[in-house]
């Protein structure tokens, strides 16, 4: 029995793609591991901006590629596309876990301040609590260490309407930091100053180690500067200060919300925010 090959309408259906294999689309979501075909570069997605995806391989090397075809996922070709915007279910939350306040401009800065030890501390606080702090009008400054804390407090001259909260690294009994903190609290301005701290030798360790693929932060001998030792243990460059700065940005980039930080830090920061924002009559 013969068939009539002219009986079908050649304009019906997608005749151009007949016989072609359709390559599926894949949203470029964070931490997805893919391979770029042309270069063979394989890595996890760590960023997406203006149609350009950033991949990081297991050695920490970064490469940028445009979205589109030319990628493999588990060995199969995919077309990489931007993730679809998700519709919020219920009230949105900030990175700190607070309910987000929509369309609210930042308040004029309060006279009170929160001080942290260094730039990395300030950047971590901004990443997780920044939205809350802007709503409250709280400014965070860094000290570059606590050795001069007493002098800074005297110069600031805190009052019930102009309080200081201080976050200190490695605040454990008997440490230099604890002695400085106790002296400030006993001083003439102690009633209007709150010094709290976390037990970690550096703010890096307040990030849960699992965020950088570790079960625990390595133990570093006292003879080795801690951050350099951490980078060395992780196989990251550490010869120059720029290497340390890049290492911190890698760690900070893995922090998404408060859930990525240790509870020993979370409670202390919340305590400081409450202290510098509570009504004067409550102090």
At 51 the pLDDT is 86
Q: How many residues does the chain have?
A: 283
**Residue of 219, 228, 235 lying closest to 58 (CA atoms):** 235
| Domain covering 113-207+255-282: architecture | 3-Layer(aba) Sandwich (3.40)
Task: Quickly state the pLDDT bin for 20 (edges 50, 70, 90).
Answer: low
Residues 254-274 have a mean pLDDT of 91
At 7 the pLDDT is 47
Q: Are 95 and 128 in contact (CB under 8 A)?
A: yes
Which structure tokens are listed for 19?
A: 């016989």
Which structure tokens are listed for 104?
A: 């609210």
Write down the domain spans for the chain: 15-81, 113-207+255-282
270 Rama sector, left if φ>0, alpha if ψ -120 to 50, beta otherwise: alpha
Minimum mean pLDDT range among 2-11, 69-78, 247-256: 2-11
| 134: helix, strand or coil | helix
CA distance 218 to 84: 39
Mind listing the pLDDT tens digit for each residue in 194-205?
Answer: 999 999 999 999
Mind listing the pLDDT tens digit for each residue in 94-125?
Answer: 665 554 555 555 555 678 999 998 899 999 99
**Residue of 168, 160, 249, 164 lying closest to 203 (CA atoms):** 168
Q: Are 35 and 42 in contact (CB under 8 A)?
A: yes
At 104 the pLDDT is 54
The tally of CA atoms less than 13 A away on the side-chain side of residue 247 is 21
Mind listing the pLDDT tens digit for each residue in 119-170?
Answer: 999 999 999 998 888 888 888 998 878 888 999 999 999 999 999 999 999 8
Minimum mean pLDDT range among 46-60, 234-248, 258-272: 46-60
């Amino acid at each position: 029995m013969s068939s009539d090959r002219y009986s079908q309408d050649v304009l019906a259906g997608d005749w151009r793609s007949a016989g072609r294999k359709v390559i599926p689309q894949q949203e470029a979501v964070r931490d997805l591991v893919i391979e770029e075909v042309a270069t063979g570069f394989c890595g996890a997605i760590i960023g997406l901006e203006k149609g350009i995806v950033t991949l990081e391989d297991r050695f920490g090397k970064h490469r940028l590629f445009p979205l589109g075809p030319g990628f493999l996922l588990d060995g199969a070709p995919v077309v990489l596309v931007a993730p679809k915007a998700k519709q919020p279910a219920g009230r949105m939350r900030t990175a700190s876990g607070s309910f987000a306040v929509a369309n609210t401009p930042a308040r004029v800065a309060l006279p009170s301040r929160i001080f942290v030890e260094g730039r990395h501390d300030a950047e971590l606080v901004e990443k997780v609590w920044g939205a809350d702090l802007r709503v409250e009008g709280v400014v965070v400054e860094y000290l570059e260490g606590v050795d001069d804390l007493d002098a800074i407090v005297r110069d600031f001259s805190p009052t019930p309407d102009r309080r200081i909260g201080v976050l200190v690294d490695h605040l454990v009994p008997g440490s230099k930091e604890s002695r400085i903190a106790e002296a400030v609290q006993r001083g003439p301005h102690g009633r209007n100053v709150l010094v709290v701290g976390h037990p970690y030798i550096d703010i890096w360790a307040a990030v849960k180690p699992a965020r950088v693929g570790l079960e625990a932060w390595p133990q570093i001998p006292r003879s080795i500067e801690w951050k350099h030792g951490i980078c060395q243990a992780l196989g990251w460059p550490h010869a120059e200060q720029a290497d340390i700065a890049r290492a911190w940005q890698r760690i900070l980039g893995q922090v998404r919300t408060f859930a990525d930080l240790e509870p020993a830090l979370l409670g202390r920061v919340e305590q400081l925010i409450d202290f510098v924002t509570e009504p004067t009559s409550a102090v």
